[in-house]
Amino acid sequence: MRKILISQFNNEQVPMLSSHISNIRRINSDPAETQSRSATDNRISFTSENTETGQITSFFAVRKRRTSEESISLLNGKKTKAYGALDPTSISSSRLVPCCNFFDDKENALENVVQVVPDAVSNTSLGFFEMLPPELLYVMFDNIPVLQLKQLCLSSSTLNAKVCEYISMASTRRRFFTETGAAYYGDFESAKDPFYAWGMLLKACSIVMSFHSSHVFLAKFFIKNKKIDNWCGWGRCFMAFCKGWTHNECEMLFRAVMRFTGLNGILNRTMSRKVKSYSHLEIEIRARLRGFFLSCWEKNDESYGFWISLILRTQKTISQQGQLFMIIFGPLKLDDDNCEVIDWDLLSNTSIEDRRLCEEIIGPMSFSIHCMVSNENLMGYAWSDYHIFNLIEEITTAPHSWTLDNFAALLALRPKLIHIALHARIIHGHQEEAAHLFHAINSVLHQWGIFSSTAVTGVLLKTFRALSDIRRRLFLSSFLRTESELLSDALMNEPFDRDYFYMELAVGRAVSPLVTLMASNV
């Protein structure tokens, strides 16, 4: 009907319509008749209502109701005066608000849309937020998801400054506390992780800052929210903040985090004394270092090795590095107060034979050392075989020497370390010790149900190729002599342990292919 009226107004030719439509047009074309009918209808309606409701309607003025066509015409007239003639196709959809019948007439949807935001507002540095007073702007930020705030930060420098101001507000601290209070056990770099999302927001806010200023900005945020002691969560936040950075840039952030979190002071105090002097501080260091820098990268050898390298190099001597390594990865026990402390004596007093326990207790140490072995991507942050050998020796002897089986298990869990341990001993004339160590490795693998000839063939060939001919013969001679002596001792022990003797026989049979391989390369 509306289209018909518009067509008539524009003097367009109107097709023949039914008598019902003709009556409507006739009514609209005769104002006097329309007014008369309206008055009559109103009187009838009022009389009927007054009869039914009694005195209720006598308190209200009776308003004349216009016909629907008059209402539409009047409404269109008001819109024209307020907004002028609009071209619906030129209006951006981001500045449009649909009318109530928008979804009823999908074919002509743009004709039923009204522009409510002027073009001048949307072109400012704050965009639509220019319309809001400052206090409402921050309330609006409170209701925008964190990752969407990150996008706003990247849209303009003005919005970036506003979001930075918002982050420093007390209401934001309450929001951060609320959002990060729930436990999260998903993967790193997940949009569902609140710490990761806040880290990305902080990164976006600092994109216009200098490198030093970004560290200061992160430090202020941490200090204002330091009551949150979820160190693994903070670690995901820090790792999101430095995502995509170079190793040098990450190192500078590492040093900044060590300062503003107070870790430097705790670490210096603990490392200045002997082990066990500050048992509670050792646990605090362990929790923070693993949470801040390592918890996110347990599935990434390169990143894990990089952060371990940075952590250990905070200490100047190899003995201090070995001590710090054990603080971070050593086994735990409960003290008299039922609190966790580092168990410095377990691996020295007890041989762990069960493979599952070895992977649980010794596995993290073996994996961590493995990640620091020379890697092309780590470049200057990789450790040479020489430094790895010294670190292993320090770890397995301080404060007391590990049992040989535990030491062998450390190497067997990551066969790449076997070459480092054997080669350094052989070239320095300690082939007897190397032979005993190699036999212990084969025994551990046999106890775990692993064929040593399959597990260590590649490592043994690598070691042999790095030796001179005389060194190869010396090592093979020492190994054969060690095998013979251990088998003889097992046979002559009193009381005789039949199971131990059979185990030594089985180990000898398992390594026979390796002996043949070594003999063919001397």
Mean pLDDT of 128-150: 84
Identify the residue with better confidence: 156 or 92: 156
CA atoms within 13 A on the CB side of 245: 18
Sign of CA dihedral 456, 457, 460, 461: negative
Closest CA to 408 of 430, 433, 439, 432: 439
Average pLDDT over residues 423-429: 94
At 318-365, the pLDDT tens digits run 999 999 999 999 999 998 889 999 999 999 999 999 999 999 999 999
CA angle 502, 356, 371 (to 5 degrees): 110
Pick from 48-62, 202-216, 254-268, 318-332: least confident: 48-62
What's residue 381's pLDDT?
A: 86
Grouping H, G, I as helix, E, B as strand and the rest as coil, residue 522 is coil
Of the listed ranges 94-98, 165-169, 303-307, 400-404, the least confidently predicted one is 94-98
Angle separating helix axes 301-312 and 247-260, nearest 10 degrees: 50
For the chain, which residues make up each domain, given as ranges? 123-243, 262-412, 414-521
- Note whether 407 and 352 are within 8 A (CB): no
> Where are the strands (E) in 65-200, listed by range?
96-98, 113-115
How many CB atoms within 10 Å of residue 140? Answer: 13
Burial of residue 184 (CB within 10 Å: 0-12, 13-18, 19+) is middle
Going from the C-alpha of 247 to that of each of 234, 244, 369, 517, the distances in angstroms are 20, 9, 19, 42
- Report pLDDT for 123: 63
Band of residue 11 on the pLDDT scale cut at 50, 70, 90:
very low
Q: Give CA angle at 297 (445, 256), nearest 5°.
A: 130
Residue in 104, 72, 109 with CA at minimum distance from that of residue 91 = 109
Say if CB 297 and CB 309 are below 8 A apart.
no
**pLDDT at residue 60, rounded to an integer:** 42
Residue type, 188: F
Strand partners, 373: 383
Which is nearest to 420 in space by CA: 481, 477, 462?
462
> So what's the pLDDT on residue 387?
93
Q: Which helix (H) or strand (E) holds 334?
A: strand 332-334
Mean pLDDT of 425-447: 94
Both tokens of residue 69?
């066509």
Give the list of residues 6+ apart from residue 79 with CB closer than 8 angstroms, or none: 114
Q: Judge whether 351 and 406 are in contact, CB under 8 Å.
A: yes
Distances (CA, A) of 346 to 269, 280, 395: 25, 18, 13
pLDDT of residue 380: 80
Q: Report the candidate in 474, 458, 468, 434 with the shortest Cα–Cα distance to residue 514.
A: 458
Band of pLDDT at residue 206, cut at 50, 70 and 90: very high
**Sign of dihedral through CA atoms 426, 431, 434, 438?**
positive
Q: What single-letter amino acid sits at 156?
A: S
pLDDT digits (tens, 9 = 90+) for 50-68: 444 444 444 444 444 444 4
Please report the DSSP string for 362-408 in residue order. THHHHHHHHHHB--TTTGGGSBPHHHHHHHHHHHTTSSSPPPHHHHH
Does 84 score more than 90 pLDDT?
A: no
Mean pLDDT of 183-207: 84
Pick from 88-102, 210-224, 288-302, 481-495: least confident: 88-102
Average pLDDT over the chain, rounded to an integer: 80
- Give 3-state DSSP helix, strand, coil % of the chain, rounded to 5: 70, 5, 30
Is the per-residue pLDDT at 255 higher than 80?
A: yes
Whole-angstrom CA distances from 144 to 131, 148, 175, 184, 323 are 17, 6, 11, 21, 47
pLDDT at res. 521: 81
pLDDT at residue number 452 = 84
Q: How confident is the model over 270-318, as pLDDT tens digits?
A: 999 899 899 999 999 999 999 999 988 877 788 899 999 999 999 999 9
Q: Tokens in use for 239?
A: 């790792």
The amino acid that residue 476 corresponds to is L
Nearest to 421 by CA among 393, 398, 446: 393
Q: What percent of the chain has pLDDT over 90?
A: 52
Give residue 124's pLDDT band: very low, low, confident or very high (50, 70, 90).
low
**Predicted confidence (pLDDT) at residue 372 exceeds the cutoff of 50:** yes
Distance CA 457, CA 364 (A): 24
| CB atoms closer than 10 angstroms to residue 506 | 13
Which helix (H) or strand (E) element contains residue 109? none
Nearest Cα residue to 194 out of 434, 134, 186, 440: 186
Residue 118 has pLDDT above 80, yes or no: no
C-beta separation of 281 from 269 below 8 A? yes
